[in-house]
Chain A
Amino acid sequence: MIELVQQILNGLAIGGVYVLVALGLTTVFGILGIAHFAHGSVSMFGGYLTWFLAVSAGLPLLAAIAAAMAVGFVLGVAIELLAYRPVRSASHINAFIVALGLTMMVEGLNLQLFGHEQVVIPTGLSRVFEIGGVTIPELRLYVILAAAALIASMTLFVERTKTGQAIRAVAENREAAILMGVNVQAIPLIVFGISTTLGVCAGVMVGSLFAIAPGIGEWLVVKGFAVLILGGLGSIPGAVIGGMVLGVTEALAAGFVSSAYKDLIAFAVMIAVLLMRPQGLMGKA
């Protein structure tokens, strides 16, 4: 029993990271129908940047994170404007290739700026709480809480603000949104900005829980897509549920079945869900 609870807790932290990655992907997908493959690399970049600001530039950690998030927003805006906008009217395969090109550029840029080394963002949070045999490292607890807070504010933003509604409107019917007076040129910029900011947060979490290294972006984005598919493309609740399911499934699979095959089991679950519900858990038919 304790083991089960512990394993679920283990899975929640990583699940939170998956949710954040998937949230960014899902909003971009919902609005623009783009499979933004570069999202993982951008997350990685955000993690590296935070590490650099905190370790080499000596900023306090929270300031470093805030600065990286701001840079992430700008980067997201630039990506939409310079890379995706020109191919908006072409087929979605073209946008996918642009995404691959972006991935390479971000990876390359990251190597130039921060080198090949794996880095760990130092948080200084090494206390461990224990409740009835279940241990929770302080850091993991904060990660779970931060993820929850970000998810909640994202949901509120989309549901309750005018801009959030405009984002939904563009996602559902671009032309009608124009006719409502929505500036449809600006919306994708906002969406990419927010999405990338969330990606940066995910990168920071991975970088402090574990480590970030070149190439980790691929892993992140693949997991993000798996979550998206599991939860249903374009659905925010879907991303949240999908991320948690994937994180916990992996932890349970690693703990109770086989750690070597935990990814395989996670993907098997995803494929199985899809075959029963081709539109994902929360997707619209």
Chain B
Amino acid sequence: MQFRPAYLALAAAAVGLVLLPQIIGAKYYLHLSILALIWTIAAQGQNLIQGHAGYVSIVQAGFMGIGAYGTTLLGMHFALPVWLTMLLAPFVTALFALAAGYPSLRVKGHYFAIVTLAYNLVIFIVLTNWTSLTHGEAGITGIPKPGGPDGWFDFRDRATFYYLTLILAGAMTGLAWLIARSRIGQTLRAIRQNEDLVGAIGIPAWKYKLFAFVAAAAFAGLAGAVYAHYQSFINPEVFGLAQSLDAILAVIVGGSGTIAGPFIGAFFVVFLPEYLRFADAFRLIIYGLALILATIFMPRGIVGVASDLWARIRRGRE
């Protein structure tokens, strides 16, 4: 087989991720890594609709909220086991996305972006105000971990939960990869380039868009469910507009339409603000500036820069 740097990077990343709990000292970084992996799942979903189909959807965090509340409420009210509710969460979310996406995919471009933004706000408002169900702003506490103390694994142990999240993030990344290189992925990329033409050559574009939207939501739903059981606490705040913007950022910064991009981007949006705390007062300014500079100077994201670099090195060698 031909030497491909991408495979090398992949292998290195995989080894690094598996060994991570052994390497890092402060428990806090393990916590952040788990969050980043959860964000990877959400960002892989976002990449389907944004990176491939070219539709900026601003509701990913809202869908995470549906997944998180879905798994929690199903567990609370129907006494279902945690594993089952976690499994159901993406489907519940997908159902909501189906209902919301069907009408709204009639609008395009910026209209679509704003309509999805409105969905996120609507989800937020409902989560905040339907207090009898969601406990509103105060949120729901004591959400159980999967497995219970006498199962094979104790997921209250943070490293164990880390591996669970790692497996899920890996699986969802794999699924995203399969979708991206399938006929569906190709059609989504065609939609991004020229949607009218897709319809004109006999492809029902709306079905593919709806698929991307619903699949993105399902990814988000799973991410939200994992989040809920990891934190054991949820309130509407984490599922607001700002977090949906983070999902968009993760895709762009990492490299949209690529498979590694959302992963890199997820770590970026979780860790960078944390590292900028040293400059507390100037954190927002620096973060904002970094974003602008990154967009101006590396519009194709980190993955884009890396592959350009690699191409240059190879050309230099030849």
Which chain A residues have a beta carbon within 8 Å of chain B's beta carbons?
29, 35, 83, 86-87, 90-94, 96-98, 100-109, 111-112, 218, 222, 225-226, 228-229, 233, 260-261, 263-264, 267-268, 270-271, 274-275, 278-280
Contact = CB atoms under 8 A, between A and B. Distances in A.
B18 interface: no
Contact of A274 (B107, B241, B289, B299): B107
Contact of A229 (B108, B114, B125): B114
B288 A102 contact: yes
A97 B125 contact: no
Given A35-B110, A100-B245, A218-B241, A94 B252 contact: yes
A97 B117 CA distance: 15
Interface residues on B, range: 35 or more
Contacts of B93: none
B117 A222 contact: yes
A27 to B, nearest CB: 14
B288 A101 contact: yes
Interface string B267-307: 00000000000000111111111111001100100000000
B88 to A, nearest CB: 26
A225 B117 contact: yes
A267 B284 contact: no
A105 B103 CA distance: 36
Interface in B146-204: none
A57 to B, nearest CB: 23
A104 B252 contact: no
B296 A96 contact: no
B118 A271 contact: yes
Contact of A87 (B104, B117, B241, B295): B295
Contacts of B126: 264
A225 to B, nearest CB: 5
B110 A98 contact: no
B106 interface: yes
A83 B291 CA distance: 11
B115 A87 contact: no
A95 B215 CA distance: 26
A229 B111 contact: yes
B114 A98 contact: no
A16 B121 CA distance: 22
